[in-house]
Structure 1
Amino acid sequence: MEDIQSILDLRFQGIKINYLYVCKRKLWLFSKNITFENTSDKVLLGKVLHEYSYPKETKRDVLIDNLIMIDILSDGNVREVKYSSKMKEADIMQVIYYLYYLKQKGIKKHGIINYPKEKRKEVLELTAEYEEKIKKALKEIEEITARTTPPPAKKQKICKSCAYYEFCWG
């Protein structure tokens, strides 16, 4: 039987959940403080979009337990603002993780991912299936980040727009 407490003890930044679904190598590098986001034009565009979208929202960039940063809290919703839906599964799992994390603290919320550039949104609920998926993801993140060497580079469509492209393929 699985040790529930050990799963509850697995706590990571939401971006690590996102990176797990985008690229395991990127997750490992980020976990070792090897970061290139500050040099990426795509990351900068995302930050600008986040900064100027939904200006009337007052609860922005909410930091919880010095661990997870929620873009917007409003009307019982956890909202994330994303530049593009190209990495939709990663975006969904990041928000699901926030909902799961808050549930462990006795707080029930719904999730919304806003894609303002695309003028669309994704509405999410924390289901039993998602909870199981998150538990597996947390274990996988623990395994990947505990490694002494990064997973091998794996060519994907998103590589050319990744901040780590030169590191992996240059």
Structure 2
Amino acid sequence: MTGTQISYYFICHRKLWLFVNQIDMEQTSDIVSIGKFISESTYEREKHEIHISDEEDDIVIDFYDSKNRIIHEVKKSDKMEETHIWQVKFYISVLEKKGIIGVTGEIDYPKLRQKIKVELTDKDRSELKLIKENIIKIISSEVAPDVINKSFCKKCSYYELCYV
């Protein structure tokens, strides 16, 4: 499971299915490019992106403050805040699985000059288990889920696949 899959689960099940089935449109998206630039320029280059992978999960953390045990995830906008929160909760759960206890998260919105604290509760752990089960069901399907037709679809990198 990846952080992107968790994120797409909350945004759009169709986007999740397309992404997992290697239909990747993000390389053509200006919005994604801007987000990557913000993320890459927020922290020192040598401390940027920590990749953790095992047989079950594969994550890339924007920045990890090991002294204070804080995961930092950098985002361009807070429009999809719930998605960002669950992505960080997922990252915390992966670190816990690796034996790193007491980790919290922080979502940094440099453009907005805001930070959101994130913690993982027992209820969240149970919910993450259900989310992961639902993701497996979605990505295992033979066909893509239906188009959701939300206002944010117009800015999605997959827009043309869904509407044109």
Q: Give me the TM-score of the superposition, normalised by structure 2.
A: 0.93
Q: Which amino acid aligns with 1:143?
A: K
Q: Where do 5+ consecutive residues of structure 2 fail to align?
A: none
Tell me the secondary structure at the aligned position of residue 62 of structure 2.
Answer: strand
Tell me the secondary structure at the aligned position of residue 117 of structure 2.
Answer: strand
Q: Which amino acid aligns with 2:9?
A: L
Q: Where do 5+ consecutive residues of structure 1 fail to align?
A: 1-11
1:65 aligns with 2:53: yes
Tell me the secondary structure at the aligned position of residue 25 of structure 1.
Answer: helix
Please give the alpha-carbon distance, in whole angstroms, between the structure 1 residues aligned to 2:89 and 2:46.
22
Tell me the secondary structure at the aligned position of residue 123 of structure 1.
Answer: strand
In the alignment, which residue of structure 2 is the partner of 1:92? 85
Alignment match of 1:34 (pick from 23, 34, 38): 23
In the alignment, which residue of structure 2 is the partner of 1:7? none
Q: Equivalent residues in 2 for 1:97-108 (5 A)?
A: 97-108=90-101
Q: Equivalent residues in 2 for 1:125-164 (5 A)?
A: 125-164=119-158
In the alignment, which residue of structure 2 is the partner of 1:21? 10
Shift of residue 131, structure 1, vs aligned partner: 0.8
Tell me the secondary structure at the aligned position of residue 79 of structure 2.
Answer: coil
Please give the alpha-carbon distance, in whole angstroms, between the structure 2 residues aligned to 1:44 and 1:92.
21
Shift of residue 149, structure 1, vs aligned partner: 0.4
Q: CA RMSD in A?
A: 1.1
Shift of residue 129, structure 1, vs aligned partner: 1.4
Post-superposition Cα deviations, 1:33-68, rounded to whole Å, max 9, x if no partner, equal 10100000000000111111133x743110001611
Please give the alpha-carbon distance, in whole angstroms, between the structure 2 residues aligned to 1:80 and 1:135.
21
Q: Which amino acid aligns with 2:98?
A: K
Q: Which amino acid aligns with 2:18?
A: L
In the alignment, which residue of structure 2 is the partner of 1:5? none
What fraction of aligned residue pairs are identical, expressed as a percent? Answer: 38
The number of equivalent residue pairs is: 158
In the alignment, which residue of structure 2 is the partner of 1:52? 41
Please give the alpha-carbon distance, in whole angstroms, between the structure 1 residues aligned to 2:99 and 2:121.
15
Alignment match of 2:161 (pick from 142, 147, 167): 167
1:76 aligns with 2:69: yes
Please give the alpha-carbon distance, in whole angstroms, between the structure 1 residues aligned to 2:121 and 2:28.
37
Please give the alpha-carbon distance, in whole angstroms, between the structure 2 residues aligned to 1:59 and 1:129.
32
